[in-house]
Chain A
Amino acid sequence: MIPLNWYLILAAALFLLGMLGFFLKKNIISLLLSVEIMLNAVNLTFVAFSSRNGQISGQIFVFFVLVVAAAEAAVGLALVIAMFRNRETLNVDRSNLLKW
């Protein structure tokens, strides 16, 4: 029997790693990969609580998170292609047209 907080500590560590990557990386594809890490950490938390509380609802939420992640990856990568075609770079610091 595994204590619940082992899962939560692992998920929190993964989420913080994803967040660290999101803030520190410059390549926009790395940013999208970091978002995927964070989504997976949240999925793990959902499934752990679903298992602890004996309810299936948490796993249904994971299902919807997967769907949204797929949609997000499709649209995000289309934006990456459009960005690379217009600017010849993927560095997010170079896309500063709207920045003061």
Chain B
Amino acid sequence: MIQILFMFFAAVALGAAINVLAQKHVLYSSLSLIVLLTSISALFVLLQAEFLAVINVIVYAGAIVVLFVFVIMLLNLPADEERTDRLRWLKLVGIPMGLFLLFMVGRTVWNVEGAANTPEIAGTAQAIGASLFTDYILPFELTSLLILIALMGAVVFAKKDL
């Protein structure tokens, strides 16, 4: 049963990722990204990481993709993406290098042993919070600094005359 669920959500995730790349208009790409994020969250649930599944939907689908959609609608982009094929000869290098990368990554991940879903941990909010506020308290506090800097940077970049 759990294998069927995995296969289903993996297929949805791959299809959504391909659709993100295949769409002409970035608005449809963003909406397809939501499908990808939701199926990734479902896979998190299968791995007993319930807190991260919820956070993934709230932060990614609820905040980041909405930000993308806002910007796309604000800019009012034309639908067709103009093609500018510079560096055409780089395809001769890029395709063999890409196939080599595919081969190496595939060989690495194919040979990994072991099963996921060991039942001894569960990613509940309690477990994550206990670890986050004891072992990882310094990175957690530094995160607030990062967000403050990103906030100021976003305002400075997007403001018209500053």
Contact = CB atoms under 8 A, between A and B. Distances in A.
Contacts of A54: 118, 120-121
Contacts of A93: 84, 86
A33 B33 contact: yes
Contact of A56 (B98, B106, B127, B150): B127
A77 B67 contact: yes
* Main SS at interface, chain A: helix
Interface in B1-24: 2-3, 6, 10, 13-14, 17-18, 20-21
B83 to A, nearest CB: 7
B115 A4 contact: yes
A37 B60 contact: no
A32 B142 CA distance: 24
Interface residues of A, number: 71
A75 B157 CA distance: 8
A48 B146 contact: no
Given A2-B116, A25-B81, A52-B115, 5 more contacts: A17-B17, A33-B68, A47-B123, A50-B49, A81-B157
Interface of A: 1-18, 20-21, 23-27, 29-30, 32-34, 36-37, 40, 43-44, 47-48, 50-52, 54-57, 59-60, 62-64, 66-75, 77-82, 84-85, 90-91, 93-94
